Homo-oligomer: A and B are copies of this chain.
Amino acid sequence: MAKRASESDIGLLLITGRGNVEYLTGFRGPAVLLIEEGGLKLIVPRLEYERALDECASGEVIAYLPYNLPLPPSKHLFKGKLKDLLLKELKGHRGKVGLIGKFDFTLIRGLAGVLKGVEVVDANPLITELRSVKEPWEIELIEEATRVAESALVKVLDRVKEGVREYEIAAELIYEIRRRGAQPSFEPIIASGRNSSFPHAIPGDKTLKSGEWLVIDVGARLKGYCSDMTRTLVVGGLDGSKRRLMELVLEAQDSAVERLKSGSLASEVDGAARSVIEREGLGRYFIHSLGHGIGLEVHEEPLLAPDSDKRLKENMVVTIEPGIYLKEGGVRIEDMFVVREGGCERLTSLERIIL
């Protein structure tokens, strides 16, 4: 990371964001990272110090205690606020400073005061690029996380019937994921009837009714790495009229998958799915981008969207999830893929149509 930064002429990186911190250090918690040619400093609140020492794979750990309480003398313990510690570390720094992640306004203003005359730049691209291409061991973990979500979902499908509440399905699904030693990678979406027309519905106390669409969007996180998949079914079983909409979504997915390979433009892949849906005059009901990268976070680079000029690279892991959201209900099918040379590999193995 320091090498990449210095190639961009950045002498010092200031990094926030749990995914970034976990990627670069292994520590799972609130922290700020400072990276220079000289090394890496992981900055955590006092109460996380011992755990950070345990989890942080390399570099130095510094803890701050923002209260006037006694601290054992140590160059790794700082009495004061995070902001003051950062300003102290940055003071006198010469050369470009890169910021990665989100910062609050007072911190940015404080930095501006300390870094007078120093150029501050957005360095997010440095890490998103690095994180978007996965190592083989990362793909393995993502695959394991996929298996967990799939087996949990299969277990819960028996529970899907008229009269059950959305949140009850969510409770069972999460229980099955956690029993397997994983966590949900996001709050699952269990959206029935009209709720399924909202891509990011929140499971509520609505009861399922026969003949309604039911969207189940779920993922697991295992050893940090996430999976993400969506199946849409019809409560009581898929019938003829609904089957056509479902098949259109599947065709859109297939069309995108055909274009998914290293060297393709992200926008091309999105367009391949979108044009199938547009052909049937339903383009205005596909109201989101086609997919996204996934790894330590559920949503990361690359985004597969109409305007994205990103070129896909080998070993990126992405979702392909076309959807059509009509007023009375929505359909979305989402699978995960590894981008390969000349094609791709589907990580999700669960059948796409659930009868």
- Which A residues are closer than 8 A to B by beta carbons? 28-29, 45-51, 54, 65-70, 72, 99, 101-106, 108, 120, 122, 165, 167-168, 170-172, 174-175, 178-179, 181, 183, 187, 197-202, 205, 274, 283-284, 287-289, 305-307
* Contact B200 A47, beta carbon cutoff 8 Å: yes
| A51-B201, A67-B289, A287-B46 known; A183+B187 contact, CB < 8 A | yes
> Of B29, B70, B108, which contacts A108 at CB under 8 A?
B108
Cβ–Cβ < 8 Å partners of A199 in chain B: 47-48
* Contact B183 A179, beta carbon cutoff 8 Å: no
* Contact B50 A198, beta carbon cutoff 8 Å: yes
Q: Is the interface of A mostly helix, strand, loop or mixed?
A: mixed
* Contact B167 A181, beta carbon cutoff 8 Å: yes
* Contact B171 A178, beta carbon cutoff 8 Å: yes
Q: How far is the CB of A336 from chain B (nearest CB, A)?
A: 20
Question: Other than the known A99-B105, A167-B181, what 18 A-B pairs have Cβ atoms closer than 8 Å?
Answer: A28-B202, A46-B287, A47-B288, A48-B199, A48-B200, A50-B198, A51-B201, A67-B289, A67-B307, A69-B306, A70-B283, A102-B104, A103-B103, A108-B108, A168-B179, A170-B178, A171-B178, A174-B175
Copies of the protein in its oligomer: 2
| A287-B46, A288-B47 known; A306+B103 contact, CB < 8 A | no
* Contact B306 A67, beta carbon cutoff 8 Å: yes
Cβ–Cβ < 8 Å partners of A67 in chain B: 289, 305-307
Closest to A270 in B: B67
Q: How far is the CB of A64 from chain B (nearest CB, A)?
A: 12
Cβ–Cβ < 8 Å partners of A283 in chain B: 69-70
| 21 pairs, CB–CB < 8 Å, chain A vs chain B | A29-B200, A45-B288, A47-B288, A50-B197, A51-B201, A65-B287, A66-B305, A66-B307, A69-B274, A69-B283, A69-B306, A70-B283, A101-B104, A103-B103, A167-B178, A170-B178, A171-B178, A171-B179, A172-B175, A174-B174, A183-B187
| A68-B306, A99-B105, A305-B67 known; A288+B46 contact, CB < 8 A | yes
Closest to A123 in B: B105
Cβ–Cβ < 8 Å partners of A65 in chain B: 287
Closest to A70 in B: B284
Cβ–Cβ < 8 Å partners of A307 in chain B: 66-68
